[in-house]
Structures are given as structure tokens and as C-alpha cells.
Amino acid sequence: RKWTAHIKYKANRINLGYFASLADAIERRLLAEKAVAEGKHPKPSAVGHPLLPASVETFSAQQLAEHAQRIAEERPTAEGVKGVCWYKATRKWTAHIHYKAKQIKLGYFVALADAIERRLLAERAVAEGKH
């Protein structure tokens, strides 16, 4: 079961995300209320929270695999992992990335770490100008 958090902002309903626990959803809502009180937009941009460190070009495939494994252990439901989600029909994890306004499917995976690793490899390729 997932929890959703949302807030009204300038006559619009803003979705703040889906969360595995009620406490996380409440925390996100409270942060959004604080941002509105400060005159900011309630939903922070996701640009500042990439999965990859700044020195992505120096990472080897093995280091990316280890990094993906750490992320999978920290986030077993893939919450907050952009481009990775559970696909109920196949009962597998799926990974995708958006490039030039198009969604590119990266595949279906039994293990969450494999899906995250494929997403990280795609992010690295886009960062390096490959596609």
C-alpha cells in the first residue's frame, strides 16, 4: 500500500509524491506547507538530487554496479529512484529514461539493483553525450 501527499497551491492541486510509509507522506506535506509559508513553490525540483555523483565519467562499470546495489539496499521499494518502478503485469522491475522528449525503455529486470544499474548506465551515457 502506498501513501500519497498533495497540497493546494495557487488554486492548483500539486502532487508531492507517493510514499511507502504514512510518516514519509506526512513529512513531505509538512515540508511543502513550510515552503508555501516562506513564499516558495511547495514541490522542490528534482534536478538537485541525481543518483549519480558529479564525477560520473570516472566511474567504471563495476563501480556503477556497486553504487546501484547500495541504492537498492537503501530504497527497497525504489522510492525516489527516478526511472525505475515495479511493473505489476510482468512482476519485474522496469527501467526507462527520457531523452529529447521521448521515453526510452531500458528493459525489465528481476532484481531492483539490475534495473537501477541500467538506469545509471543510461544517465552516464546521456551525460557523456552518447545516446
Per-residue pLDDT of the chain (131 residues; tens, 9 = 90+): 678 889 998 888 988 877 778 888 898 899 899 988 988 888 765 544 456 555 666 778 888 888 888 888 887 777 778 889 989 999 999 999 988 889 999 999 999 999 988 998 888 888 777 76
Question: C-alpha grid cell for residue 27?
Answer: 513529512
How many domains does the chain divide into?
Answer: 2
Q: CA-to-CA distance for 83 and 119, rounded, in angstroms?
A: 7
pTM: 0.59
State CA 39 to chain mean position distance.
26
Q: Are residues 62 and 119 in the same domain?
A: yes
Same domain, yes or no: 122 and 96: yes
Look up the domain containing 33 and give its range: 3-44
- Do 98 and 75 belong to one domain? yes
